[in-house]
Structure 1
Amino acid sequence: MIQITAQIHIDPDELTEQFCRSPGPGGQNVNKVETAVQLRFDVARSPSLPEDVRQRLLRLGGRRVDTAGVLTIEAHRFRTRERNRQDARERLVALIARAAHRPKPRVATKPTRASKERRLETKKATAATKRLRGRQSGDE
């Protein structure tokens, strides 16, 4: 079990990993060894996630989530397959932990009378400055 929070655990069987060749430079080794990993997690059908976390994770996933609700994480930062695999899992855990955090609801507030007065005073000062920049009657 992969522990995300105290209440959320993910079964490793829910993850599918596919290994492929890493992009970018690397010499002869990069053309022969499949060290990059594509980690897939079916967010839409996972029994491990509560519904609110599932919705936030689908939104946070962005382009990494396809139309079927499968989250794909690609890792190819490191030279070894095992380290890339660990990196992909760490990134998945961080993303789910971020989705598990319930955002604080915004409380609408009204501006104070003093702040309204300050705003109006600033507007008056700006208007007066601009008025003085205009043509004077005896300029020509």
Structure 2
Amino acid sequence: MQALLVILLLLNLGIFALNVWGPSDEPAPLPLTEATIPTLNLVKDIEPAVYSAASGGSPSSCYTIGPYLSQRVADEVMTKVGNYGLAVSLRSLRTLETLNYLVYIPPLPSYAEAEAVVQDMKRFEVKEQTVIEAGPYQ
């Protein structure tokens, strides 16, 4: 039993010595990047881009972005565009476009008078109009 213990101890010491002082057949470490790929420039190493009409070869342009359904969204877009160094101004425009309005005209005495009102509405480019002949909104 003692001989077996001594043999195992010698084998362990031999394997330890082989790992520490033996030949190293490790492969070469893999490069982290390829040589053909350029290195990245950190943002702090680059000058901030500032727009100037004089710096470009083309004349300055003015763009309109929108319309937006709320003032808050317009302000957010204005801030984001301003962060690029562009001059931004906000202007409000009233449009004549309305969406999805139902206009109820009280009943007229005759169908002919209702048709006359429909023809008058067509003159003002109202695209959808209906004379309701039956039901609660007659």
TM range (shorter): under 0.3
Which is helix-richer, 1 or 2? 1
User: Which structure has more RCO (C-alpha within 8 Å, separation ≥ 6)?
Assistant: 1
TM-score, normalisation: structure 2: 0.22
Which is strand-richer, 1 or 2? 1
